[in-house]
Amino acid sequence: MRVILPNPRGFCAGVQMAVDVVEGVVAMFPDSQVYVYHEIVHNRHVVDRFRERNVTFVERIKDIPRGSVVVFSAHGIPPSVREEAKERGLPANDATCPLDTKVHSAPTRISRLGYEILLVGHADHQEIIGTRGEAPDATSVVETAEQVDSLQVRDENKLTYLTQTTLSTDDAAVIVNALRNRFPNLHEPSSSTICYATTNRQHAVRQIAPEVDVTLVVGSRNSSNSVRLTEIAAAAGSPGYLIDDASEIDHSWFPRGGDSSVLVTAGASAPEDLVAGVCKSLLNRYGGQLEQWDVMDENVEFRLPGSLRRIILDRGGDAPSNSVVIGPPSIDEQSYGAVPLTVSARSEPPKAI
């Protein structure tokens, strides 16, 4: 079997930062119950591993005992949740991805200028809930292009849009183009709000999927960006299957058995050890070769939240690294089942919508 790993894949810098925040809080409060508002990231294994370490995930701030330590998830929160946590005296650590924070801050600024915001995304996604909560009276959520014709707005000349960071660029473009057609004076945002990691992973799948028989996406079913990768693979002509780990592989997906070519990628919230497990499982069963296709470099650095640094220093810990840096994972035969052949497949993603 020919197993192809795209680079980039898996954890992005925002997810790694969020995981590091919870790790840091757990280390600083070993005898305390640590609470996380919403799943820290949308991955079952990440969440379950923290649960095994006495971390409790809640969907309501009122379920957290007063004075307890809380971490806000990577997806961000509306101001009402932040205020409720403050009222309950909860020492808070904000693990919101900096790119999500940028999107969250936009509605308040835009609404003050008198603009109405059309927020393109999934209404029940935590990022959209948090972003809309910044300016609820000036924000309408648009989930599909079909909704556009029925939208009611105050002033078509003072209208702009934002997009959920984890949308498929293709899906977002369909909705945004429908908005442009309906509202010719729609104000364009200064830059795309679909995040770099989402765009890069989608671009890698879009480029490689036509070359393989099957695409496996490692990620959980509540991970929007992981689901989008399976859809992009299918649109490119390669059946895409979403799996949490190697145990969910269905070998009927490979009718050519060991002669199959398989792209194995991962959503931005999936740990690399799960990707390694999938590769090793396939190669142990079918034999073959492992290839890593380098589509683009992705070396991104985010600063750790100041709240975590203060807690660590106040409790006598060593000053933590000032930042989180994500680069290509190291691959070894023991973990992945083979040493990869590296293939240069460099190209640039399409321009943002």
Q: Which residues are catalytic?
A: 127
Cα–Cα distance for residue pair 15/11, rounded to 1 Å: 6
Nearest to residue 94, comparing CAs of 320, 323, 309? Answer: 309
Amino acid code (one letter) for 262: V
The 116-120 sheet, strands edge to edge: 139-142, 116-120, 159-163
Residue 122, token pair as written in the block:
């999934």
Cα–Cα distance for residue pair 226/315, rounded to 1 Å: 38
Cα–Cα distance for residue pair 62/56, rounded to 1 Å: 13
Pairing of strands 116-120, 300-303: unpaired
- The pair phi, psi for residue 6, each rounded to 5°, is -85, 150
Paired with 118 in beta bridges are: 140, 161
- The pair phi, psi for residue 31, each rounded to 5°, is -105, 10
Neighbours of 186 (CB within 10 A): 17
Cα–Cα distance for residue pair 253/290, rounded to 1 Å: 19
Cis peptide before 8 (omega within 30 of 0): yes
